[in-house]
Every structure is written in C-alpha cells, then in structure tokens.
Amino acid sequence: QVQLAESGGGLVQAGGSLRLSCVASGHIFSIDQMGWYRQAPGKQRELVALFTHSGGTNYADSVKGRFTISRDNAKNTVFLEMNNLKPEDTAVYCCYADPIVITKVAGTTVHRYLEVWGQGTLVTVSS
C-alpha cells in the first residue's frame, strides 16, 4: 500500500556532508510521523531524526547541531541534511513513516496507522 524510496547515501570523507531524501508513495490518506533511523554493523537500530506526531522534531544527541531534518508535506517527502560527518555516523540509514490508510473491514471503514520502513541507504564516512 505504501512504499518509501530513499536516496542520497554514499561515501564521504569525515567533515563532509550528505543529503538524504525519502519519498512516500501509495494509497496514503495522511502521514503522521516520518523521519530517519540508522543501524551500524553490530548495533541496534537507533533514531536519528524524526518529525513527531506533535509536529516537533526529535534528534539523537549524537547528531544534534550537525543533522537537520526537513520536509515537503505536499510531496510526502523528508530530507536529512548531514553536516560535519564523522566515521561514527557510518550506517545504513532507513526512512520510517507511519502513514494512515483507509481500509474496509466487514463493511466498516477503518483508519489504520501503518509502520513502513524503507530499504535503507548506506552512508560511509571515511577518516
């Protein structure tokens, strides 16, 4: 029903910058939360930056002041501007969204929150 398409990952030297993009497509009624998580080898997936239900933003402490999340609601798109990248930022970055879709259950209209993950885009920061 909903797909997330990520782009922008790549190899960059420490101190450099990258900009990630994520576009949500499909039969979307609306999108509640949308943002970015990352997972480094051998580590748990962690929140990087997220537009929350309340309309605010959450950032991991490790990226505050360096990363900026932005969005284009009309295009169901979020961006992640990553500046002053460090080798510790190396990870697969995955877009996340919880779009609302409308379904029929036994003739009843139901609004459902989905939890959708992108396939991920690899960011590698060399020292």
Handedness of CA 45, 82, 72, 118 (dihedral sign): negative
* Closest among 64, 69, 89 to 79, alpha carbons compared: 69
The partner residues of 91 in beta bridges, in order of sequence, read 123
Position 103 scores a pLDDT of: 87
Position 108 scores a pLDDT of: 93
Position 37 scores a pLDDT of: 98
Position 58 scores a pLDDT of: 97
Residue 36 binned pLDDT confidence (cut-offs 50, 70, 90): very high
Position 60 scores a pLDDT of: 98
If you average pLDDT over every residue of the chain, what do you get? 95
The partner residues of 5 in beta bridges, in order of sequence, read 23
Residue 73: pLDDT above 90? no
Q: Hey, what amino acid is at 32? A: D
Query: Tens of pLDDT along 84-124?
Result: 999 999 999 999 999 999 888 899 999 999 999 999 999 99
Residue 1: pLDDT above 90? no
Report CA-CA distances (Å) from 83 to 15, 17, 53, 65, 99: 7, 4, 26, 9, 28
Residue 11: pLDDT above 90? yes
